[in-house]
Amino acid sequence: RLVSWRGRGRFRLRRWRHPAPRGAPRCAWSPGVHDDHADVVDATGGVGGIDERVGGALERAESLARELDVAIAVENHQDATSADLVWLCERVGSSHVGVNLDAGNPLAVGECPIEFASRIAPYLKNVHLKDYLMVPTSAGYRLVRCALGDGVVDWRALLDMFRSNAPKATLNIELGAMH
């Protein structure tokens, strides 16, 4: 069944009035702050923007997700660490709440994608396959999207880890990553 989210500071989960498309039991949600996503929840305060307020909102949304038999997968945009996401999943403590891993984004918080994925594997629901080049700048580095395999993500190791530690997670290529 489908669940949608929108808003600032809270979930808005709505019941889908039509039969759900086959294989659509999840929704993704980002708790962070982004200049390119107008619908993302503004949740400042904790590391990566994840704090008690976000945990409370997710906890409240879990009951509806459970009722609708869907999973909420919190995405790691470029502001959430693996520790943030593990904390959030453990706080809610439900199989209806997990992680949507955007595979290149751990680089933005200084984590290795394989180590990040290994830490969140018990909660992994979905993966956006994406790769980045790391281009040095005077301020550190810039992440530049590129074709899978052309960047710094070790795909063989990452896919092996998914097969071993999160075999039920769905994988898809993020085609919308243009900039």
- Give the model confidence (pLDDT) of 119-156 as tens digits: 999 999 999 999 999 999 999 899 999 999 999 999 99
Q: What are the angstrom distances between the C-alpha of 172 and each of 56, 81, 161?
A: 29, 21, 16
Copy the structure tokens of residue 129.
Answer: 């396959």
User: How many alpha carbons lie under 13 Å from residue 143 in its C-beta half-sphere?
Assistant: 20
- Sign, Cα dihedral of 120, 126, 132, 137: negative
pLDDT grade, residue 31 (50/70/90)? low
Res 9 pLDDT > 60: no
Q: What is the mean pLDDT of residues 4-26?
A: 43
Look at the block and give the residue holding tokens 């809610």. 92
Res 23 pLDDT > 80: no
Which residues 6+ apart lie within 8 Å of 32 measured at CB? 40, 41, 43, 48, 49, 50, 77, 78, 79, 80
Res 49 pLDDT > 80: no
- pLDDT of 81 reads 93
pLDDT grade, residue 42 (50/70/90)? very low
Q: What is the mean pLDDT of residues 3-13?
A: 40
Global confidence as pTM: 0.75
Distance CA(128)–CA(26), nearest Å, equals 13
Look at the block and give the residue holding tokens 């459970």. 66
Distance CA(49)–CA(68), nearest Å, equals 28
- pLDDT of 55 reads 83
Count the Cβ atoms, other than its own, within 10 Å of residue 112.
15
C-alpha torsion 91→93→96→98, nearest 10: 60
Are 62 and 89 contacting, i.e. CB atoms less than 8 angstroms apart?
no
